[in-house]
Amino acid sequence: MKGMTEEAPEEIKERVKELREELRKHEYQYYVRDNPLISDAEYDSLLQELKELEEEYPALKDPNSPTVRVGGEPRDEFTKVEHSQEMLSLGNAFSPEDLRAFADRIKRRLGKDEEFNYVVEHKIDGLALILRYQAGELVLGATRGDGRTGEDVTANVRTIPAVPLKLKREVDIEIRGEAFMPREKFISLNERRLSRGEEPFANPRNAAAGSIRQLDPGIAARRPLSFLAYDVIQALEYSCSSHLEALKLLAELGFKVNWHEQAGDIETVIALCQDWVKRQQELEHDIDGMVVKVNQLDLRPLLGATSKSPRWAVAFKFPAQQKTTRVKDIKISLGRTGVLTPTAELEPVEVDGSTVSRATLHNEDEINRKDVRIGDKVLIQKAGDIIPEVVKVIKEERTGQEKKFEFPESCPACGEPVFRDPEEAVYRCLNSTCPAVVRESILHFVSRDAMNIEGVGPALIDRLLEQDLIENQADLFFLEESDLIQLERMAEKSARNVLEAIEESKSRPLARVIFALGIRHVGLRTARLLTDKFGSLARIREAGREELEEIAEIGPVIAESIVNYFATPRNNRLLARLKEAEVTMESKSRQQSLTLEGYKFVLTGQLENFTRQEAAAEIEKRGGRVTASVSSQTDYLVRGESPGSKLQQARQEGTKILTEEDFLQLLTKED
Ligand code: IVH
């Protein structure tokens, strides 16, 4: 091997550069333009030549060389990346009326004099990717994750041939698009998997997502993924005034751009959407709908976003896949808000690539309206990620054996009477100690988007509740190894893992903790807005309706729900226990700045408000240090009742002496 120490000769450098340019040109022609200029064999031989030169002269290696398409070193986990701009999701429209309502909302906000039009695109059923380029070179590929933070999947993204590693201009830019697996490629991949005795992927989307989240880029490289770009972040900065111009810019930079068409009004949008419902099979990849976006970029900030999605765009979802099956039974399940939801248990059927054995019946009125009975043959549907539902009963097939379902008058979990909420048409169990409500609340608390306590799932929670080891969320933090070990099927090692996971969750960001509390109507996004404005649970608790409603996205219903939550003694007891467990109660950015950084303290005598340990902890939290004896290095001596000889020493050293009151003032100074 040369090159590690030795510089490559000029002519080699030239050849490598030439090969890379040549290969890039052909990649672009093949994968982006669908217009190959040379045969695969010719391409392979150029690539082989480049590979050999890079092997021989490792100093010439480049992370964005066409040779990286084959994948790099496997890794242990993905690092998290914070997105430069939050990636929201899209609101849904299911009918022409929904699309008209979307247009009306926009017109109302902008006023009737504002002129605008739309761009209609395919909604690709894949995995959203965010790509960052610096001076035209790909430096980051990330997944959407929770919208704020995603995972750094750059090594895998580099293996997708339709993702340019080097743009046609040396710009700094961030773009978004969708990685997906073309349908044909998906079918043959599954055939290969089956023939090797491996589990097939449920659908092209799962296959794409699974490939992007592969820890071994070598495997990702062998998965036939493609990429279509649909968005430029901060497009205004690249002198694009419309989305159409942004899409044109993407094409000029070398991206394969998602299908799109401009539409002057909502009726044209509707016609395009309906046209593609029929034509979707023409495409080489799956689309699950259309995305409609306001074209004028300067109008987007004016329209803003709701709690979940921008008001300037909407997803028109294609009609759901439907199948028939039989209702075996109707069961009631309880949610954490005490709502009783009837669910149909079905004979399992395959819909949209997954097996469905349950469908929601929503509420009593829905059961009556559709007249669903146990034993009925029913038409069910599933649209995307939506919970499967019963569309209608096939009454022609009734035998007379079907049984009507009686909605229970008491809670199936606690036996207390249930109440019908006239506004929501639902029955609710109002018993806050109802075991089902408690269980669901705890499950929500530990769930992924909330405290994300790994290893603590339904099975363990059920056992802990059965054995009276916990009564609520906070009790989890006071579990001991001996509590867990006595449980069936719990070895010492798993007990320790569980305790570690619980311990680790204490430092989750405040927004997660707020979301985990399960306050009605407070989702993760609202929790984040509350965190940003108030910074601590204590401040949120003090806030009245008015102050809460100062947050644009919080209206009277959410505000009231928050106020009610904090007015309930049971909730306050829970919060006190969580605080005692040292679960995050303040946002990290507002937590104590290190106001005592660099200062040395000595404590003497009895303090009124703290034990010695507590006082030391307060000092250390702020970056200060506590030592046992006074020296010339000591900055402060804190004196309590009946101080010891340290007071004398401090006087001799000329150390500053603080009473407890001075000390308290020092602590609260810049909090
Ligand atoms: S725009 C603020 N355009 O749909 C929304 N998204 O629900 C930014 N998707 O996670 C997204 N095709 O994965 C946009 N042409 C398209 C899309 C598209 C598919 C996906 C994307 C995103 C989800 C939004």
- The pLDDT score that the predictor gives to residue 352 is 67
Give 120-141 pLDDT, tens digit per residue: 999 998 999 999 999 999 999 9
| Tokens at 563, concatenated | 């106020």
**Averaged pLDDT of the chain:** 89
Q: How far is the CA of 90 from the centre of ligand 1 (A)?
A: 7
Is 594 part of any domain?
Answer: no
Please tell me the residue having the least CA distance from ligand 1 atom 15: 123
Residues 6+ apart with CB under 8 A from 652: none
Same domain, 108 and 215: yes
Residue 4 pLDDT greater than 60, yes or no: no
- The pLDDT score that the predictor gives to residue 383 is 58
Residue 368 pLDDT greater than 50, yes or no: yes
Give 448-481 pLDDT, tens digit per residue: 889 999 999 999 999 999 999 999 999 999 999 9
Q: How far is the CA of 15 from the centre of ligand 1 (A)?
A: 41
Same domain, 115 and 214: yes
What's 246's domain CATH number?
3.30.470.30
Same domain, 483 and 529: no
- Percent of the chain scored above 70 by pLDDT? 97
Same domain, 613 and 644: yes
Same domain, 340 and 362: yes
Q: Which atom of ligand 1 is nearest to the CA of 125?
A: 19
What's 607's domain CATH number?
3.40.50.10190
61-71 b/e (C-beta count within 10 Å ≥ 16 → b): eeebbbbbbeb
Same domain, 161 and 261: yes
Last residue of a domain, one of 580, 612, 627: 580
Position of tokens 């007990």? 495
- The pLDDT score that the predictor gives to residue 589 is 63
Task: Give me the mean pLDDT over the 84-91 stretch.
Answer: 88
| Tokens at 403, concatenated | 């049984």
Ligand 1 binding pocket mutation candidate from 291, 311, 312, 318 (most atoms within 8 A of CB): 291
Distance CA(38)–CA(45), nearest Å, equals 11
For the four alpha carbons of 527, 529, 535 and 541, in that order, the dihedral sign comes to negative
Same domain, 472 and 514: no
The verdict on whether 123 is a catalytic residue reads yes
- The pLDDT score that the predictor gives to residue 665 is 86
- The pLDDT score that the predictor gives to residue 135 is 95
Position of tokens 């082989």? 48
Same domain, 150 and 99: yes
Give 339-353 pLDDT, tens digit per residue: 999 999 999 988 866
Among 410, 395, 459, 462, residue whose Cα is nearest residue 435: 462
- Percent of the chain scored above 90 by pLDDT? 60
Same domain, 337 and 308: no
- The pLDDT score that the predictor gives to residue 384 is 53
Last residue of a domain, one of 450, 479, 505: 505
Is 411 part of any domain?
Answer: yes
Residue 516 pLDDT greater than 80, yes or no: yes
Ligand 1 binding pocket mutation candidate from 92, 122, 124 (most atoms within 8 A of CB): 124
Q: How far is the CA of 126 from the centre of ligand 1 (A)?
A: 9
Strands (E), 24-106: 80-82, 92-93
Is 426 part of any domain?
Answer: no
Distance of CA 389 to the CA centre of its chain: 25
For the four alpha carbons of 336, 342, 348 and 351, in that order, the dihedral sign comes to negative
- The pLDDT score that the predictor gives to residue 671 is 47
What's 485's domain CATH number?
1.10.150.20
Among 311, 319, 271, 269, residue whose Cα is nearest residue 120: 269
Distance CA(638)–CA(659), nearest Å, equals 6
Coil, strand or helix: which one is 107?
A: helix
Please tell me the residue having the least CA distance from ligand 1 atom 17: 123
Give 574-623 pLDDT, tens digit per residue: 999 999 999 999 987 655 566 787 889 999 999 888 888 788 878 877 77
Coil, strand or helix: which one is 3?
A: coil
Alpha-carbon distance values, 231 to 213, 243, 288, 540, 587 (Å): 22, 8, 18, 37, 32
Residue 144 near ligand 1, beta carbon < 6 Å:
yes
Distance CA(225)–CA(69), nearest Å, equals 11
- The pLDDT score that the predictor gives to residue 386 is 61
Is 241 part of any domain?
Answer: yes
Last residue of a domain, one of 61, 77, 100: 61
Exactly one of 2, 25, 107, 123 is catalytic; name it: 123
Residue 3 pLDDT greater than 50, yes or no: no
Residue 669 pLDDT greater than 80, yes or no: no
Q: How many domains does the chain have?
A: 6
Q: Which atom of ligand 1 is nearest to the CA of 90?
A: 7
Is 447 part of any domain?
Answer: yes
Q: Which atom of ligand 1 is nearest to the CA of 122?
A: 15
Sequence-separated contacts (24+) of 405-413 with Cβ below 8 Å: 405/330, 405/342, 405/367, 405/372, 405/373, 405/374, 407/340, 407/342, 407/364, 407/367, 408/332, 408/340, 411/334, 411/340, 411/436, 412/332, 412/334, 412/340, 412/436, 413/334, 413/437
What's 57's domain CATH number?
1.10.287.610
Q: Which atom of ligand 1 is nearest to the CA of 128?
A: 13
Give 402-454 pLDDT, tens digit per residue: 999 999 999 999 999 999 877 778 899 999 899 999 999 999 999 988 999 99
Residue 143 near ligand 1, beta carbon < 6 Å:
no
Is 427 part of any domain?
Answer: no
Same domain, 385 and 471: no
Expressed as residue numbers, the domain containing 352 is: 322-420
Give 478-496 pLDDT, tens digit per residue: 999 999 998 888 888 999 9
Specify whether the CB–CB gap between 590 and 626 falls below 8 A.
no
Q: How far is the CA of 385 from the centre of ligand 1 (A)?
A: 14
Is 585 part of any domain?
Answer: no
Give 524-570 pLDDT, tens digit per residue: 888 988 998 888 999 999 999 999 998 888 889 999 999 999 999 99
HSE at residue 344, side-chain half, CA atoms within 13 A, is 37
Task: Give me the mean pLDDT over the 259-283 stretch.
Answer: 93
Q: How far is the CA of 203 from the centre of ligand 1 (A)?
A: 18
Among 55, 35, 128, residue whose Cα is nearest residue 88: 128
Same domain, 97 and 231: yes
Residue 315 near ligand 1, beta carbon < 6 Å:
yes
Ligand 1 binding pocket mutation candidate from 89, 148, 300 (most atoms within 8 A of CB): 89
Residue 291 near ligand 1, beta carbon < 6 Å:
yes
Residue 283 pLDDT greater than 50, yes or no: yes
Specify whether the CB–CB gap between 323 and 351 falls below 8 A.
yes
Residue 231 near ligand 1, beta carbon < 6 Å:
yes
Residue 572 pLDDT greater than 90, yes or no: yes
Give 295-344 pLDDT, tens digit per residue: 999 999 899 988 778 999 999 988 777 889 999 999 999 988 899 999 99
Kindly give the residue spans of alpha helices, DSSP state H, lying in 260-323. 266-279, 300-303
Give 53-85 pLDDT, tens digit per residue: 999 999 998 989 998 887 767 777 888 899 988
- pLDDT-derived band of residue 42, with 50, 70 and 90 as boundaries? confident
Residues 6+ apart with CB under 8 A from 432: 338, 568, 570
- The pLDDT score that the predictor gives to residue 366 is 87
What's 399's domain CATH number?
2.40.50.140
Is 107 part of any domain?
Answer: yes
Ligand 1 binding pocket mutation candidate from 123, 234, 256, 290 (most atoms within 8 A of CB): 123
Same domain, 368 and 454: no
